Amino acid sequence: MTIASLAAGCLLLSVLSAGPQSDGIAVIEEVEARSLALAQERAEWTVSILAVDGIDYALFSRSIPEGTIAHADLGWGVIAMWSSGAVYDGPLQRGDIDPNEHLPDR
């Protein structure tokens, strides 16, 4: 449930309108509460297959007014995804990352 809440929280924070907030702490607490509530509504999540390196894993996803959130437990790691549209549902392939690469350009 933690990874589901992370995906929801990241999406909700990404769509906050820029500008002065009268109480930033209250906004963060509201996002945290809604993220947890979304994660706990298990009946609202759909399950599909996420292929990673040729192995099928369960991808849990759901749509909310702000976009789509998804998460998967791969055993050796977890994936949290969020998007204002649809999330990419694979296939995925693990890869080595060169620490000298500039990742935003990938």
Domain boundaries, the chain: 2-16+25-87
Note the pTM of the prediction, 2 decimals: 0.78
By C-alpha distance, which of 85, 97, 81 is closest to 3? Answer: 81
Which pLDDT tens digit goes with each residue over 68-81? Answer: 999 999 998 899 99
Terminal Cα distance for the chain, rounded: 30
Assess whether the previous peptide bond of 104 is cis (omega < 30° from 0). no
**Residue segments in the chain with a per-residue pLDDT below the cut of 50:** 106
Adjacent-strand bridge partners of 63: 68
Q: Using one digit for the tens of pLDDT, what is the confidence trace for 30-45?
A: 889 999 999 999 999 9
Interatomic CA distance for residues 57 and 47, integer angstroms: 10
